[in-house]
Amino acid sequence: MEIDLSGVKKGNWMLTGIGLIVLLALMFLGRAFTPEGNRLLTWQEWQVRKLQQAYRAERLLLLEDTNRLAELLAGEADPARVQVTVQGVRRHLAQGGVESLADERQKVADAAQAALDWASGIGDYNAAVEAVQKALEALDDGG
């Protein structure tokens, strides 16, 4: 790319500087969004990128929720605290929309229910630990 600035009058240097800054910003923006192999960013490629970002965000949220459940299991059985945490986990699970994480969401839901059962006194501690461990393993396998 070649830019000829010979026709710029003395009073317009500030506008030229702003124009160059805008061009540099567009160049860096283009580099950030250009797909690998310097291909054209098509609508389909944009949708793939959005889905990858949603996958990473939802997976991270599921991992955080599962770690919160694991922390609760490490302490004493506090039904109120576990119930509030499980309600938050269920709210996050209801918002989930990435189809490839359906199995992981189900394992986190099972872990949340097992932790709630344990805290309420109707479930076994080892079963709750096993359910949380299965959820953590499923989320760790996802990369």
In-domain check, residue 111? yes
The encoded tokens of residue 76 equal: 């004493």
pLDDT top residue among 134 and 1:
134
Q: State the total domains in the chain.
A: 2
Domain that holds residue 7: 1-33
pLDDT tens readout for residues 46-70: 888 899 999 999 999 999 999 999 9
**Are 16 and 82 members of one domain?**
no
**Are 71 and 137 members of one domain?**
yes
Q: What is the pTM of this model?
A: 0.73
Q: What's the confidence (pLDDT) of residue 46?
A: 83
In-domain check, residue 80? yes
In-domain check, residue 38? no
Distances 50 to 41, 77, 135 between C-alpha atoms, Å = 12, 40, 25
**Are 126 and 104 members of one domain?**
yes
**Are 20 and 74 members of one domain?**
no
pLDDT top residue among 29 and 124:
124
Q: What's the confidence (pLDDT) of residue 54?
A: 94
pLDDT tens readout for residues 115-136: 999 999 999 999 999 999 999 9
Query: Which residue, chain included where needed, has tokens 């124009």?
Result: 19
